[in-house]
Structure formats: structure tokens, C-alpha cells
Amino acid sequence: MTPCATPIPQRRVTIAIADLRRGGAQRVAAWLAGALVERGHAVTLLLLGGPEQEQAFAVHPEVRLVHADILWFSRGLRRLPDFFLRLAHIRRAVRESQPQALLCFLDFVNVRVLTACLGLCLPTAVCERIDPRLDPLPLVWRAARRLLYPLAQALVIQTEGLRAAWPARWNPRLRIISNPVRRLKACGSVALPPHTILSVARLDTQKGLNLLIRAFAHIAKEQNAHLVLAGSGPLRDELSALAASLGVGERVQLPGAIEDVGAWLEAAEIFVLSSHYEGQPNALAEAMAAGLPVVTTDTPGARSLVRHGENGLVVPRGDVAALASAMRTLLTEPDKAAALGRAAQDMATELSEECILGQWTALVEELAGQPGADSGS
């Protein structure tokens, strides 16, 4: 007879994030809310946006979903009173949820929630998703982050490599929790030409997709290769024009945001991440879990997943020639590519959802044991 497991006490947990639009932090927040509910906790998911905003991720039916609805635009003399009105909306929503543990995702949300909750003494963890040294955050927000983050009981980062990005005096508060890795199942099928290179990313400056197109142009015709840039974002037209100007417009597809990511991963030959900076990239992890050979630029987040030459290839950020060479290697050496793809799958076991949920649950227990954990009730 096996001994009974120690029951996990139910905690009131509030997770704050701007919205549930497509993004790595949004996916983790929605998953975490549902996973904690299934562990017996009472979870409120506080979105700073309104109900009219896009919701790309499903929310567990037992999660209490609340919209603070503060992301409106202010101008002129309305800016200052609206600033305080927004803080009041957030403060009221947080207090109503009576959290024993408050988890905030992304810098703008972290700063707003910490400011709104001044004096409430709520046990709080702020979660950062990228390298702050490379994040183009406005000066006033960087100053607010330095001032307010020490008020939180924990600062959650995704990789050990990001520890050095934060002041040494914050080390006792740092907690490292990686993104959980999903093994995506294809719901259907996608027909792609042979030698298709896939990148799944938001079409913005951070992702370095202009560099990827330039690197692709070096090898496209010699390898009879094709490139798919799956995602939405403000640079779509610019990237399309760049591909055309380099003579590879007919070989570059921009299908927009894709739903059945698993099917695209099954159909592609290699996966490439060309970002200038990342926290811990979900798309890269999912490609590795699917067994695709991967090429990534050298960011701390990617380095936490890819060991160069063992389970993928790592190239310097911004190096078009190196990126082209790595893609050429994987396209021309199928045995090496297959070996890297098999090795990449091992990473998914280390970062399973069950393992990562255990780390979040431990953090919730740590916060719930802090003085003030019941001050909102």
C-alpha cells in the first residue's frame, strides 16, 4: 500500500497580464491558470485589456476571467487623471480577487500592477520574459522597473543565462522557471515544397526576419529552397518587399498566423530562429520537440535550449553569412540534420509541463507563506 500524498492546500492565485493575444507569455499565462485550477487552486486571470481584444488562447472554464479594461488611449489634459484612473481600476480588480499569490507577466504589466497595489502588502512575483539589456523599453519605464521590482517577493526569469542581466543585489529574489514545452500534434496536413525552411515568429524588429531573408537569398536557388515566415505583425509588407527586391519573392511565403503549428512543423525540413533577443522562445522549443533540426541566433534564451553541434546549430546574432552557412549545412547534410533533430527531442522531456508546473506550484506556496498573504481577504 502506497502512502497517501500530502494534500496541497488551496490557494487564491491572481495572474495578471495585458491580454491573451498571440505570444509566448500569453500562452504560458493561460496554461498556468488552467493547470493551477486543476491542482485545486482558485485562480483569477486578470487581463488589463477589454473583452473586445483578440483572445488566441483558451481559458479553463473554472478560471475566473476579469478584464480591467485600462488599455485605452489618452491625450492632452486627460493623461494624468486617466493614469490614476487606470491604477484605481487595477487596484480594485486585484483586491476583489483577494490573492494569496499575485503573479504578473511582462514589464509594462509588472510596473502598473506594482504601482496600483502600493500599500496592499500582497505577496507578488513579477515575471520577465526577455533580456532587459536588449529590450528597448522607454527610459521612464526602465527607471520605474528599477524602483518597483524590489517591492516584489520574487522575480521570475526563464534561464540561468539571464541572471547576470539583473542587479546582483536582486539575486536572492530571482527564481528560474523555464517555459513548458509542448509536443504539438498535427490536426491536419500541410503541403510544402521540398527543402522548406520554417520560422514561426511575430513579424517585428525583434525577430530579425530581414536578416533571415537576406541569408536565405544566399542559398535559395543553389538549394532549390523555400522559406515560410509564419506569423503576423507590422513588418509583413516590408519583409515581402525585401524578398522581392532580393529576387526570392516567389520562394518566400508569409501565410500569417497559423493555427495548426504541428502540421507545419511536420511538413518543414528545418526550423530557424533569427531573433536579436529572446527570453526562452516557445516556437524554437516546439520545433525541437517535434524533432526538427534547428538553427538559432545566439541569445541567452536560445542557448538554454540549444547546444551547438549537439542538438542544433547556433550562430552569432546579426551574422547573415553564418546564418546562411548553417542553413546550407542542414539542407546538404541530411544525416547530420536527422541526428540533430533526434537529439533535440530529448530537451522536451526535461521541460515537460508537469515538471514546470511543479516549479510554479512551489513559487505559489512560497508566496502564500509570506506575511500579508491574506491581507487582501
Interval 205-258: pLDDT, tens: 999 999 999 999 999 999 999 999 999 999 999 999 999 999 999 999 999 999
Q: Is the pTM for the entire model greater than 0.85?
A: no
The residue extents of the domains of the chain are 12-179+353-368, 196-350
What integer is the mean pLDDT of 48-55?
A: 91
Q: Which CATH superfamily is domain 196-350 in?
A: Glycogen Phosphorylase B; (3.40.50.2000)
Interval 65-100: pLDDT, tens: 999 999 887 888 888 889 999 999 999 999 999 999
Say yes or no to pLDDT of 19 above 50: yes
Interval 317-342: pLDDT, tens: 999 999 999 999 999 999 999 999 99
Alpha carbons 290 and 267: distance in angstroms, whole number: 11
What is the band of 4 on the pLDDT scale with cuts at 50, 70, 90? Answer: very low
Residue 314 host element (H or E): strand 313-315
What is the band of 8 on the pLDDT scale with cuts at 50, 70, 90? Answer: low
Interval 111-132: pLDDT, tens: 999 999 999 999 999 999 888 8
CATH number, span 12-179+353-368: 3.40.50.2000
Q: Which of 329, 295, 338, 331 is nearest to 315 (CA)?
A: 295
308, β-bridge pairs: 312
DSSP 67: E
294: CB partners within 8 A, 6+ apart? 270, 271, 272, 273, 284, 287, 288, 306, 312, 313, 340, 344
In this prediction, residue 2 carries a pLDDT of: 41
Identical fold, 12-179+353-368 and 196-350: yes
Query: Measured in Å, how far apart are the chain's first and last C-alpha atoms?
Result: 40
